[in-house]
Every structure is written in C-alpha cells, then in structure tokens.
C-alpha cells in the first residue's frame, strides 16, 4: 500500500484538438505532463482541428473512436516518459462540454471484459450506437432549439430552469436531433454520456454517472431542484410516458459530490500499465468547470480565458439567470454556482485586427503583436480625448453566441446626441486595436457585473490562455473590468483545465472531515496555494476615474450590440 507522501494525482483534459494529462504530487507540484494532438497523432481519422465539418448542414462532430485511440497513445507516452503508474492514487479529468456519446446495449459488457493484451480502441470501437459526437461548435439544431423554447415558454424560462437558454451546441437539442435524424441509432442506444462521463467510463470499466456541474450544459437539468426537468425530457424524448422514461434510463444518474469515489480503476489498466488496484476514479467534469478549480477562487474573483474563444468564469453563491449567459452548479462546492460567458469571437477577432495593422506597419520579428500593442496603447480611452464623446466597436468575424448575432463589424461614435454608426473620425485600422479590446471587455463587464456585487467590480481577475501573455490585452482587461486587487496570470502547469482536474483528484483523496463536515475544495486548495510561484501580477487593475469612465460607456455599448443584433 502506497503512502500519501509518495502518491501522484492525475488530471486529464479531453479537449477539441488534443488530450492532455498533468500529474501532480500532494504539494501541488506538477511532476509530469504529456499530450496527444488528434490531427497529428491520429492522422488516419483525417480530422481538421479535431473535428469534421459539414458546412451545408452546419454540423461539427468528432469520431469517438479517435479519442480512444488518442488515449491509447497518451498512455504509451506516459509509460515511455517514465511515469510510475503504481504511485497514482486518484484520477479526475475534464471533457469538452456539451458533446454526447451514445453507448450500444453491449457496451457495458465490453467495458467490463477489456483484454489487457490489446489496446483500447479496437476493443471499444464497436461499443457505440452512434459513432460521432456533436462538437460544441455545431450549429445544426436551430429548429430543435426553437421548438423546445416555444413549448416551454421562451428563452427566459429555459434559462431559469436549466441555467441557459437553448443553445445549438447543448446536449438536449443535440439528442433531439439524433432522435429525429438517426432514429435507429437512438433506439439502439442503451446509455448517453457527456464527453466527461464517457472518459470516466473508460477508466472505470462501467458507465459512469454525469457530473453535477457538467450536466448543467445539457439544457435538460433543473438546477434549482437538482433533477432532470420532466417536461423538457418529455419534449426531447417525444412523449410523456414510456418515451420519457426511456430517455431518463438512457441518461442515468447524476453524482452530486465532485470528490466522490466512483470506484477503483478498471483491472485493464492495472494489468496492462501497472496502476495500483486501489487507484480511485472521481467524477470527470466539463472543461470550463475544471478551469475554475485551477485557482482558489474567492467571492468576487473572475477567470478570463483568452484562447480561441474568450470565456469569463465566476464562482458565485447567487443563482441569477439570463438568456445572455450561463449558470452551472459548482463542480465541487454545494451552494455555489459557476457563471459563464462564452464568446466565439475571442482570439480570432483580435488576430484579424492585428493582421490588418501588420499589413500597414509590419511588426517586430520577435513579436507579431508588437504593432497591434503599440496602436492599442497609443490610442486614448474610448478613442477620444473629448469629454462626453466615445468611439465604440463591435467585432464579430464569426457569428456570435453572446449576443446572438450574425458575423460583421460595426463602428460607432457616441455623444450627447446619441449613438451613430459611422467610421468617420476613426483612424483605421490602428484605432481598432484599442477598440476591440475595449469591446470584448465591455461586453464581459456588462453581463458579469450582476453576478459579482452591487457595484459589479471584481476583487481579482485571473487570466489564462494564450492571450494572457500579451501585455496590452492584460492592461485593457484591468482598465475596463477594474479589479480592486489587480490582474494575475496563472503561471503553474501550463494547462488550467488539466491542472484543475488534478487538484480535484488530490482533494478527493486528502480532504478531511470534521464534525461531519467535509473540507471544502476552496479551503483545501487555499492551504496549499503558494502565490509566489503559482501566479504573477500582470496589471494593477482598478485606476481611479478610468473604471468609472468605462462604466459610462456601458449603456451606449449595450445599444451598439443591440444595433448589431438587429442589423
């Protein structure tokens, strides 16, 4: 039997383009990392950025067998890299949110009888009634979303119950579409997993329950009452009797404890790789819920993920819903919720402006963002020094989720006479550098404020993702959002999502119980957290007068977004 002090704790991240793993010790120190890129390491599946795209049908999906093959390869990399599997005490993970996996009626038996002399992929490839998993980028379910909202009473009602209005990518509308377009596959489905619970299942050797946070990304779960909403289930299933009961059986249970011991790892991994028999599997959550676990978030703290998309995450005790953002149950802490804003137009929009500027003023050889950053910092707040006037832009090279808007670029001036769509007075394209950063942050401030406090001002903003390395992006984030203690970048681990999963695996094993109360994840992580090595301050945040000036821009910016939506 291993001791606590020599144990390792694994966090996996099954994302859109790759699968990653981080191993940490009990001091939170990463001791091993590896990844497998789907396009590069599983070329036989011929995906592009991890997915297939059918533009005519607006479908984006991935082959489930490819993920299994990639996991086989990753386990091989871990073995070749010298990871001592026998020291792993606990495993957790994260999966790309909203994707669904459809198990056949023979899948459970296949999982239970995995042959350790063979790789996973050839054994599990036929365990699915539907071979593809809809991806979060999918936009094929417009009619299903419209039907569900019309039957339930509109987007506000859907958000009140499920935490979100219906979205194309959410699992409920996707299941409805599978039932309509692939009725035989749906009929032959014994269980439906999310990507998260699918991954937990192949680790356990049995079908795992949904995670209490990730289930909130389905448009099926009644968050306040902690159960599947029977009317929505009936609508997706096609009836209130046996159809509803059948879908509930396919969905299975939801695990409310994010640190629950779901069982020991499958014997397959014990015999093939040398994992300890008593290595436990804990619930695997979604990628965004896992990201908030990479930091000991306190009330009024915000995470801004600056990747391909831009995502804002906040931990809050307030369940306040809106069709313009998402609410989830917290992945570890009962009574807390995760508020989330998710924008398609993150780095893609910033990069488009950068490229336009670079055509006129080539950047330095060392930094492709140098000309963009110089332009952003040279421009005055809101594009003008004139009191009472401002320049505002809305930049969507792709159709946007928040707000629900077509692709396009709109520029405005605002003064005492109102808001005017015009390029007049704009020094293009250099003026767009500051304006796009202000636009993205104003949109987040407009929507996240009600989740924070009466003032809408955060305590801290933590930035993660590729954009967190850009000083201009961090500075504008600090100026617009105005955190009282500043903007900080996560330094440790490289991948916040996998790291949060590893922390959760550690908490599941080592959390204490006092007078019947289990130690909270926040308290557990906070005791072990060393700010001097794990984060670095990248901007001072609140500046007197600046945050207030941006506050005056919220109303005209709201009008600008609404103009773009109705364009």
Which domains are delineated in the chain? 4-283 (3.30.420.40)
- The pTM assigned to this predicted structure is 0.88
C-alpha span between 300 and 140 (Å, rounded): 36
- Residue 341 to residues 309, 321, 459, Cα–Cα distance (Å): 10, 12, 18
CA atoms within 13 A on the CB side of 451: 28
Cβ–Cβ < 8 Å for 188, 107: no
Percent of the chain exceeding pLDDT 90 equals 84
pLDDT over 50 at 493, yes or no: no
pLDDT at 46: 97
pLDDT tops 60 at residue 263: yes
Tally of CB atoms within 10 A around 486? 16
Predicted pLDDT of residue 2: 40
Averaged confidence pLDDT in the chain: 94
Mind listing the pLDDT tens digit for each residue in 128-167? 999 999 998 898 999 999 999 999 999 999 999 999 999 9
Classify the phi-psi angles of 397: left when phi > 0, otherwise alpha if psi is within -120 to 50, otherwise beta. alpha
Using 50, 70 and 90 to split pLDDT, how confident is the model at 1?
A: very low
Which residues, 6+ apart, have CB-to-CB distance to 559 below 8 Å? 419
Phi/psi of residue 535, nearest 5 degrees: -140, 160
Confidence tier at 494 by pLDDT (50, 70, 90): low
> pLDDT tens for residues 306-354?
987 899 999 888 899 999 889 999 999 998 999 999 888 889 899 999 9
Identify the DSSP state of 86: G
Q: What is the Cα–Cα distance from 530 to 523, expressed in whole angstroms?
A: 13
Q: Which pLDDT belongs to residue 450?
A: 82
Residue 455's pLDDT band (cuts 50, 70, 90): confident
> Average of pLDDT values for 65-73?
98
Instruction: Give the start-end residues of each E strand in 322-432.
Output: 326-329, 337-343, 390-396, 408-415, 418-421
Q: What angle do CA 552, 553, 559 make, to 5 degrees?
A: 125
Peptide bond before residue 403 is cis, with ω within 30 degrees of 0: yes
Distance (Å, rounded) from C-alpha 404 to C-alpha 213?
Answer: 24
């Amino acid at each position: 039997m291993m001791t606590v002090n020599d144990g390792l704790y694994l966090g996996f991240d099954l994302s859109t383009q790759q699968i990653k793993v981080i191993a940490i010790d009990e001091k939170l120190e990463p001791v091993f990392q590896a990844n497998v890129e789907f396009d590069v390491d599983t070329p036989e599946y011929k995906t592009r950025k991890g997915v297939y795209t059918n533009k005519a049908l607006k479908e984006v999906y991935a082959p489930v067998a490819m993920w299994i093959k990639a996991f086989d390869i990753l386990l091989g990399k871990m073995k070749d890299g010298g990871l001592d599997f026998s020291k792993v005490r606990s495993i957790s993970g994260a999966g790309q949110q909203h994707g669904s996996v459809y198990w056949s009626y023979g899948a459970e038996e296949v999982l239970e009888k995995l042959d350790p002399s063979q790789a996973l992929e050839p054994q599990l490839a036929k365990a699915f009634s539907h071979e593809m998993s809809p991806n979060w980028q999918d936009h094929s379910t417009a009619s299903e979303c419209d039907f569900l909202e019309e039957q339930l009473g509109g987007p506000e009602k859907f958000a009140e119950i499920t935490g979100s209005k219906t979205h194309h990518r959410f699992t409920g509308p996707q299941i409805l579409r599978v039932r309509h377009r692939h009725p035989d596959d749906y009929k032959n489905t014994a269980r439906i997993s999310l990507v998260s619970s699918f991954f937990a299942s192949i680790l356990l050797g049995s079908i795992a329950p949904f995670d209490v946070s990730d289930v909130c990304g389905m448009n099926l779960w009644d968050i306040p009452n902690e159960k599947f909403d029977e009317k929505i289930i009936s609508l997706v299933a096609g009836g209130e009797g046996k159809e509803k009961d059948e879908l509930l059986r396919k969905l299975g249970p939801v695990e409310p404890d994010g640190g629950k011991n779901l069982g020991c790892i499958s014997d397959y991994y014990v015999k093939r790789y040398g994992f300890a028999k008593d290595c436990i599997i804990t619930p695997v959550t979604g990628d965004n819920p896992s990201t908030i676990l990479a930091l000991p978030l306190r009330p009024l703290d915000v995470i801004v993920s600056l990747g391909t998309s831009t995502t804002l995450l906040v931990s809050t005790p307030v369940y306040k819903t809106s069709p313009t953002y998402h609410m989830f149950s917290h992945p570890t802490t009962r009574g807390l919720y995760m508020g989330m804003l998710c924008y398609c137009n993150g780095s893609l929009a910033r990069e488009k402006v950068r490229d336009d500027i670079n055509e006129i003023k080539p950047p330095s050889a060392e930094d492709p963002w140098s000309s963009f950053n110089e332009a952003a910092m040279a421009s005055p707040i809101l594009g003008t020094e004139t009191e009472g006037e401002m320049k505002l832009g809305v930049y969507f090279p792709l159709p946007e989720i928040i707000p629900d808007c077509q692709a396009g670029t709109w520029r405005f001036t605002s003064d005492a006479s109102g808001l005017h769509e015009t390029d007049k007075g704009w020094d293009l394209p250099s003026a767009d550098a500051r304006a796009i950063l202000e636009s993205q942050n104003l949109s987040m401030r407009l929507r996240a404020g009600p989740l924070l406090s009466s003032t809408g001002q955060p305590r801290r903003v933590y930035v993660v993702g590729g954009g967190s390395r850009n000083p201009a992006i961090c500075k504008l984030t600090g100026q617009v959002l105005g955190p009282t203690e500043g903007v900080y970048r996560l330094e440790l681990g490289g991948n916040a999502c996998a790291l949060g999963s590893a922390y959760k695996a550690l908490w599941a094993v080592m959390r204490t119980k006092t007078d019947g109360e289990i130690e909270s994840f926040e308290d557990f992580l906070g005791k072990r957290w060393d700010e001097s090595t794990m984060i670095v301050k990248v901007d001072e945040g609140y500046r007197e007068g600046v945050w207030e000036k941006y506050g005056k821009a919220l109303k005209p910016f709201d009008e600008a977004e609404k103009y773009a939506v109705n364009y």
